[in-house]
Structure 1
Amino acid sequence: MIKSLLLNRYPLVWIIFHILLGLSATFSPFPLIIWFYLVILTSAVYLIRKTPSPTILFAVLLYLVSFELLARMAKTSPYIPYELGKYLFSAGMIWGILRYQTGGKAGWVMLMCLLPALFIDFSGKVTQADLVFNVLGPLNVALVVVFFYHQKIHVKHFASLIRLMIYPILGVLSYSIIKSPDFDQVEFALGANVDWSGGFGSNQVSTLFGLGALLMFILMINRWVFSGIFLLDALILFGLSFQGLLTFSRGGMLGAVLGIFIILLYLRTANLKSRIKYQLPKVGKYVIPAILVGVMAYLVVDELTSGMLSLRYTGETAGTLQGTKVKSLNTVTTGRLEIFLGDVDLWLDHFFIGVGAGASGFLRETMHGTVAHVELSRLLAEHGLFGFIYFLILCYLGWKLVAEHPNPMIRGILVAFFAVAIYTTFHAAMRTFVTPALVGLSLLAVQIPKTTPARLPRRNIKNTKVLVPVK
């Protein structure tokens, strides 16, 4: 089954199938459960058999973890675990590390940095569930670094991985559209709106739709086939942007903007030689139409909400408009700054070893009892100096990507993935599959087809080089 998805011979069939899968989840969890385990069973032979490349493992893993949110919406637990991404990533990474040669030594150091806090608890209230909730995210990122780092993958397979991650997001899109009320039944307010996120956590839904919009943008500007019909691809991009904006949860959509900006920056700064050699897309022909789709979605939602969307994205709240609150960085970040500062205070009091994994919420003076939404502050407070080292190593790996790949487009995509992965940890911590998945993709060694100058008769064309693929 996974090979059929990878080959993408019937793109329209797969798009319709995943949309219907999302629709079926609105009334029964079992179609999704059956499909999930069918993919596992039909892929088992490829996973057990050691192949020269771990591409199939990448594909199975990234495809299945992308069902995490739809599985939560459909209430498939315990058949599909509630925190599917965390468990599946851990199992997949351990299996991959044992089966294939891995070169991410930095990941082992990151892993060691997490261990001391597992045996510390200054609150005396941390349960096993708290440990799983707080530690599995950064643990998976460390394992991803070990396994994904510089694993070679052909660019067409890289495009296939991106496409596979979009399919489950289409299911979430169709689910949320069906569950959404009519516009005249909802009064929009300056806060996250669960009515337009399928009745589920708007931050997680927005994050997923932002990711889907970024992935669709990448496929479209590179002319990597998704549906094979440009207008349909544009409609899907519009749908993801439109529904994501309606959630009024800003984090995910701003992440998509960040990723797109980085890719455009690399395209814009590429020299003429690179543009010709790698056949980089023309901004006017491919990029501008994709951007216009997103802008159109924003304008439509802003009009439908009578300008409330613009107020939301400029950081206004009901309190700031009424004059009872002063607009500040804390109100703009909906309390995340206060959580961050509270965690930093804990770190300064327990600089070396931290307060213990999962304990910060019980000990923090500000926003007491609230789980951390910023992974950096949680690492500092709970893991101390080791958490700081963990984050520095992660940032160093991202910095190496800035000039690592020769193709400006691929380099821009890899850097964008890493930047969005880190940005996501500042509004949703590491509680979803998004950060480990994007970190993993960013660390792959994407192989592009070699080109060689063709020999042309001098009498026809003088001093001209044409690049053709080597067979």
Structure 2
Amino acid sequence: MKKEHLSYIYLLLIHALIGIFLYVLPIISTVLTVLVFALGFYYISKNRNRNNEALVMSAYVVSIEVLLRMTGGGIFNEFGKYTILIYMFLGMIYSGFSRNSLIYWFFLLLLIPSIILSFISLSFETNIRKAIAFNISGPVCLGISAIYCYKREITFDRLKGVITAFCLPMISVVIYLFLYTPSVKDVVTGTQSNFATSGGFGPNQVSTILGLGVFVFFVQLLLNSKSKLLQLINASFVLIFAFRGIVTFSRGGIITAVVMIFLFVIVLFFQANANIKPKIALIIIFSFLAGMGVWGYSSLQTSGLINKRYANQDALGREKKSQLTGRETLMESELKMFFENPVLGVGVGKNKEIRAKETGIVAASHNEITRMLAEHGSLGLFGLLILFFTPLFLFLNNRQNILALPFLAFWLLTINHAAMRLAAPAFVYALSLLLVQVKIPEKAENSGD
């Protein structure tokens, strides 16, 4: 077996051990948080970001963020976003950014008026700094990551390295989840999102990362498994992540994974030559059969309750009134704010105050689209249009980034059910802007032009 294949297996084993240690001694989570940040900063600086080390370390942080937070080691909630911001700035210091990324600087400028408005409109009882940081850190992280990635030339091999960086901490996550809940059957009693199967953390966010895990290991299986052993390992993890994602009873992450895989396979099919297309058709068939197998096993482990969850029924099989577990009310209130304040919106963080006053519901937004409209008004709408259409135009001009559409889909679907609580949608979105080339000169690897 080749040295790089063994290295991959060793790294998977090391991260399995990390998951075990965090379960046995959760106190080390804080130490791990500091260590991850420091080693990432050192790794990027030592190599002067010659090979886009900033992307590799940011992908690693995206995957480990949920684990650190569920074990109490995240130090503060926005650790993932702030760390990625620092890595992106450090990467740009060493290797610059595209002069053509002006559109994302403009996106960031669109956020400013509503930030200023929030200082005027938020009540004195509200912690203004936290209210603004909670809502704006995601879009800012996205904007800076997009500036770094916009038309940045990167080899396809290096992109696969970024995918591997996503994979490693996810092993720790899934090991921790199995140790936390070894028997799913014993803890599933209803059809609501299940904290017990999600490591005691938010099922929505855990489902998001597990869904991303399904996709990245599927990519590893198809594009980065050059031996039978690696194929077996990566295929096994696709199934394991799918199972653990399903039994969180939070539907968003798994639905997103299915859409990403579908788009990925479709892009592969249309870009492949005639000899490869039959193999891709077989992959589609085997993926469908494997998916049905995982679903059947999940149904057995949950005594059929997972079927009722996806059919929007309660444990007794009765149709639930809400299709989106009550999020419609939040979305409706935010759309109402947008129509009443169409120019600048109500200000960053203000929508939660207004909703609490008018409806008595004290809850933060779960939908980044309606939140942007409510808090930023027409400027938010314009910003969302920039975010949606720019990656599509880039993909049409350069289709070598075969992961661009799945990355864009991950951002779009995730912000519809989990807003931007995690750093994942912001950073993964930015990857859709990369100018991927199968073979490029070494000097151009970091070029942003």
Tell me if TM exceeds 0.5. Answer: yes
Counterpart secondary structure, 1:372: coil
Q: 1:99 to 1:187 in 2, by over 3 A?
A: closer
1:353: how far off? 1.2
The aligned residue for residue 108 of structure 2 is 111
Q: Of the candidates 405, 412, 415, which is equivalent to residue 415 of structure 1?
A: 405
Structure 2 counterpart of 1:139, one-letter code: V
Higher relative contact order, chain-length normalized (CA < 8 Å, sep 6+): 2
Contact 1:28 / 1:74 at 8 angstroms: preserved in 2?
Answer: no
Counterpart secondary structure, 2:273: helix
Query: Are residues 1:14 and 2:4 paired?
Result: no
Contact 2:246 / 2:254 at 8 angstroms: preserved in 1?
Answer: yes
1:150: how far off? 1.0
The aligned residue for residue 193 of structure 2 is 192
Q: Of the candidates 24, 33, 48, which is equivalent to residue 27 of structure 1?
A: 24
Q: Distance in 2 between matches of 1:108 and 1:97?
A: 14
1:7: how far off? 5.8
Output one character per residue of 1:214-267: Cα deviation in whole Å (capped at 9) or x when no partner: 111112122446995222222211110111111110000000011011122223
The aligned residue for residue 444 of structure 2 is none
The aligned residue for residue 275 of structure 1 is 273
Bigger radius of gyration: 1
Structure 2 counterpart of 1:275, one-letter code: N
Contact 2:187 / 2:197 at 8 angstroms: preserved in 1?
Answer: no
Matches within 5 A, 1:280-319: 282-317=279-314
Q: Distance in 2 between matches of 1:360 and 1:178?
A: 39
Q: Distance in 2 between matches of 1:75 and 1:61?
A: 20
Q: Of the candidates 409, 419, 422, which is equivalent to residue 432 of structure 1?
A: 422
Query: Are residues 1:97 and 2:92 paired?
Result: yes
Structure 1 counterpart of 2:369, one-letter code: L
Q: Distance in 1 between matches of 2:43 and 2:205?
A: 32
The aligned residue for residue 383 of structure 2 is 390
Counterpart secondary structure, 2:154: strand
The aligned residue for residue 163 of structure 1 is 164
Contact 2:153 / 2:436 at 8 angstroms: preserved in 1?
Answer: yes
Q: Of the candidates 372, 378, 384, which is equivalent to residue 365 of structure 2?
A: 372
Q: 1:40 to 1:402 in 2, by over 3 A?
A: closer
Q: How many residue pairs are counted as aligned between the two chains?
A: 430
Contact 2:331 / 2:370 at 8 angstroms: preserved in 1?
Answer: yes
Contact 1:36 / 1:64 at 8 angstroms: preserved in 2?
Answer: no
Counterpart secondary structure, 1:373: coil
Output one character per residue of 1:377-418: Cα deviation in whole Å (capped at 9) or x when no partner: 1111111111111111101113214423344xx43x211111
Structure 1 counterpart of 2:376, one-letter code: H
Contact 1:362 / 1:368 at 8 angstroms: preserved in 2?
Answer: no
Contact 2:33 / 2:68 at 8 angstroms: preserved in 1?
Answer: no
The aligned residue for residue 212 of structure 1 is 213
1:37: how far off? 4.5
Matches within 5 A, 1:306-385: 306-317=303-314, 321-322=317-318, 326=321, 331-364=322-355, 365-366=358-359, 368-385=361-378
The aligned residue for residue 70 of structure 2 is 73
Q: 1:345 to 1:188 in 2, by over 3 A?
A: same
Q: Distance in 1 between matches of 2:61 and 2:244?
A: 23
Q: Distance in 1 between matches of 2:96 and 2:278?
A: 35
Counterpart secondary structure, 1:153: strand
Q: Distance in 1 between matches of 2:185 and 2:412?
A: 38
Q: Distance in 1 between matches of 2:38 and 2:336?
A: 49
1:42: how far off? 4.8
Contact 2:47 / 2:53 at 8 angstroms: preserved in 1?
Answer: no
Q: 1:102 to 1:349 in 2, by over 3 A?
A: same
Contact 1:211 / 1:256 at 8 angstroms: preserved in 2?
Answer: yes
Structure 2 counterpart of 1:70, one-letter code: L
Query: Are residues 1:253 and 2:254 paired?
Result: yes
Q: Distance in 2 between matches of 1:178 and 1:21?
A: 12
The aligned residue for residue 467 of structure 1 is none
Query: Are residues 1:137 and 2:138 paired?
Result: yes
Per the normalisation by structure 2, the TM-score is: 0.88
Q: Distance in 2 between matches of 1:229 and 1:54?
A: 25
Output one character per residue of 1:327-357: Cα deviation in whole Å (capped at 9) or x when no partner: xxxx111122221111011111111111111
Output one character per residue of 1:260-305: Cα deviation in whole Å (capped at 9) or x when no partner: 11122223444xxx4269x678224544434433321111111222
Per the normalisation by structure 1, the TM-score is: 0.84
Q: 1:85 to 1:226 in 2, by over 3 A?
A: farther
Structure 2 residue ranges without an equivalent (≥5): 441-449
1:118: how far off? 1.4
Q: 1:334 to 1:43 in 2, by over 3 A?
A: closer
Aligned CA-pair RMSD:
2.6
1:210: how far off? 0.3
Q: Distance in 2 between matches of 1:370 and 1:169?
A: 29
Output one character per residue of 1:287-327: Cα deviation in whole Å (capped at 9) or x when no partner: 443443332111111122232212211222359x447x54x
Counterpart secondary structure, 1:76: coil
Contact 2:197 / 2:248 at 8 angstroms: preserved in 1?
Answer: yes
Structure 1 counterpart of 2:421, one-letter code: R
Contact 1:61 / 1:92 at 8 angstroms: preserved in 2?
Answer: yes
Counterpart secondary structure, 2:396: coil
Q: Distance in 2 between matches of 1:436 and 1:388?
A: 17
Contact 2:366 / 2:417 at 8 angstroms: preserved in 1?
Answer: yes
Contact 2:135 / 2:349 at 8 angstroms: preserved in 1?
Answer: yes
Q: Distance in 1 between matches of 2:49 and 2:205?
A: 36
